[in-house]
Amino acid sequence: MRMKTSLLIAALFVGAGPTLAQDIEVGSGLYRVHCATCHGIDATGQGPMAGVLVIKPANLKRLKSENGGVFPTERVVKRIDGRDPLVSHGSPMPVYGHFFEGRDQAIKAPSGQPIMTSEPIVDLLAYLQSIQVE
């Protein structure tokens, strides 16, 4: 536990964030497997399951533009990992939350606030950031 805490503190001091430990290609694969069914392969919210959901899936390409030009890192992380649950299909989102657990990493929100999450979420976040449109 002490080693894990020390590594976390060291990572924060060197400015750990999504740009340090990310893999957009891995994130893209995770998106296709775990997110595209609802959000669509093109991430516009038009996946094959969208029609049966109570709450329409978000257009994930417009997260930055719909948030004043700032990618809502903390909100996206918490929505994916379940800390900000969204019940749109009978159970809290994400359906695949267990997959994204473990392999902890600290990233920084645009505010500079550190957020603890997992390596798969960091990769998925990197992919989502890479597909943003104005």
> Which domain range does residue 91 map to?
2-130
Query: d(Cα 119, Cα 88) in Å, to the nearest integer?
Result: 25
Asked whether the whole model's pTM tops 0.85, one would answer no
Beta bridge partners of 107: 115
Look-up of token digits 């029609």: 51
- Bridge-based pairing of strands 104-108 and 114-118 is antiparallel
Domain count within the chain: 1
pLDDT tens digit string along 73-125? 999 998 888 777 776 555 555 556 667 776 788 888 888 889 998 899 999 99
Looking at residue 100, what is its pLDDT? 73
Predicted pLDDT of residue 52: 86
Nearest to 79 by CA among 43, 44, 111, 124: 124
